């Protein structure tokens, strides 16, 4: 079946370093969504990308949707301890089914 | 604004006991509702979704069931819990562009 994979699975960074997580789908997506789940919490919707090659920014977070609409990335500039958590991408396929990625767990050391 | 509630927040149940988790949504009508399970340190597994009262679609065959007795109420049940049913159970509703809004979740430990 359709899969959405994320790499890396884990990332440990020093505070102030940059961080990137990559999301890859086996099939073309209608849109890509990103969620953040703080330790002990529930996933929270961050953003949605719809257009091929689209780039959106939220403060230090930059989200990109690939030209082929099969991959996406989330880049955090100058990480802070508040960025700790697991980041999930989720792709909407052509049957309007949302497929969640495997997640990337980010740890930030002060 | 829309709000989603789940209870209980935590639950410890013995193997073989029944289960009932409730989810309610406020501030919207006829929402699409979802139940997910998340094992410790893992991703989200879609269990059930519902597009309306009495309409349930199952994604994974297992000893769990779901019901939607009212427009904004979604219930997850089991007649006999297994150890493998332990996890973090999340209810969610879908916005206009299929983004998902999650409830606070229920942490279930089956002993």
Instruction: Indicate left, alpha or beta for B63 from its phi (over 0: left) and psi (-120 to 50: alpha).
Output: alpha
Q: Mark yes or no for CB contact B101/A45 under 8 Å.
A: yes
Token output for A68: 């082929």
- Exposure of B72 by Cβ count < 10 A (0-12 exposed, 13-18 middle, 19+ buried)? buried
Check: CB of residue B20 under 8 Å from CB of residue B64. Answer: no
In this prediction, residues B81-93 reach a mean pLDDT of 96
Which residue in A45, A96, A101 is closest to B100 by CB distance? A45
Q: Which CATH number does the domain housing residue B37 bear?
A: 2.60.40.10
Range of the domain at A100: 4-109
Kindly report the average pLDDT of chain B as a whole number.
93
Domain containing B85 equals 3-110
Q: Is B44 on the interface with A (CB under 8 A)?
A: yes
The CATH code of the domain that includes A91 is 2.60.40.10
- Angle at CA of residue A67, ends A61 and A69, nearest 5°: 85
Say yes or no: B97 contacts chain A, CB-CB below 8 A: yes
Number of domains chain A contains: 1
Residue A75's SS3 state is strand
Per-residue pLDDT tens, chain A, 110 aa: give them: 778 999 999 999 999 999 999 999 999 999 999 999 999 999 999 999 999 999 999 999 999 999 999 999 999 999 999 999 999 999 998 888 889 999 999 999 99
Nearest-by-Cβ selection for B98 from A96, A100, A101: A96
- Closest residue in B to A41 (Cα–Cα): B104
Number of structural domains chain B divides into: 1
Contacts of A105 in chain B (CB under 8 A): 41
Q: Are B85 and B108 in contact (CB under 8 A)?
A: yes
Q: Which of B43, B90, B102 sits opposite A103 (nearest CB)?
A: B43
């Amino acid at each position: 079946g359709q899969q959405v994979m994320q790499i890396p699975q884990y990332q440990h960074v020093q505070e102030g370093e940059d961080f990137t997580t990559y999301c890859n789908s086996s099939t073309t997506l209608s849109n890509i969504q990103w969620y953040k789940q703080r330790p002990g919490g529930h996933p929270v919707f961050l953003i949605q990308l719809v257009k091929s090659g689209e780039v959106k920014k939220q403060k230090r977070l930059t989200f990109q949707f690939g030209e082929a609409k099969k991959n996406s990335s989330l880049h955090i500039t100058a990480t802070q301890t508040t960025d700790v958590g697991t980041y999930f991408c989720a792709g909407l396929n052509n049957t309007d089914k949302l497929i969640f990625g495997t997640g990337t767990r980010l740890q930030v050391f002060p | 604004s829309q709000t989603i509630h789940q209870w209980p927040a935590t639950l410890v149940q013995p193997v073989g006991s029944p289960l009932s988790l409730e989810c309610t949504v406020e501030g919207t009508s006829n929402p699409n509702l979802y139940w997910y399970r998340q094992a410790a340190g893992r991703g989200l597994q879609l269990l059930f979704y519902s597009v309306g009262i009495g309409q349930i679609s199952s994604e994974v065959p297992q000893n769990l069931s779901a019901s939607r007795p009212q427009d904004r109420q979604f219930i997850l049940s089991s007649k006999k819990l297994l150890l493998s049913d332990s996890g973090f159970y999340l209810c969610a509703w879908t916005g206009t562009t299929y983004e998902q809004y999650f409830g606070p979740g229920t942490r279930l430990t089956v002993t």
